[in-house]
Amino acid sequence: MQIDAALVREQGVTFAVVAVKKHVVDNRAQALSAARSFASPFPNVPIVLMGQDNSGHATFFGRQDIVRFLSRISLNRLPWKRYNV
């Protein structure tokens, strides 16, 4: 399986942002399950899920301090990469 994700180190915090379908972010149970499933490719770092609607507006699920940070920056700033998991 391939995923699009960004491993980010910002202000001394390392975290992963993983792109998922928006309906996953909108459903807490699905989001928690998805975040747990990405723990193995990104061990020991917080996982934030990102889903986009049809217009490209991003919605995040994860640690609130990281979500606040991500909501204030352009997604193009993140080092996106395709990972095989």
Q: pLDDT, tens digit, for every residue of 11-67?
A: 899 999 999 999 999 999 999 999 999 998 999 999 999 999 999 899 999 999 999
The reply to whether 22 falls in a domain is yes
Q: pTM of the prediction?
A: 0.93
> Rounded to whole angstroms, how far apart are CA atoms 10 and 6?
12
The reply to whether 84 falls in a domain is no
Number of domains composing the chain: 1
Q: Reduced to 3 states, what is the DSSP secondary structure of residue 21?
A: coil
**What is the residue-wise DSSP string for 22-80?**
HHHHH-HHHHHHHHHHTTTTSTTS-EEEEEE-TT--EEEES-HHHHHHHHTS-GGGS-E
The reply to whether 85 falls in a domain is no
20 close to 35: Cβ distance less than 8 angstroms:
no
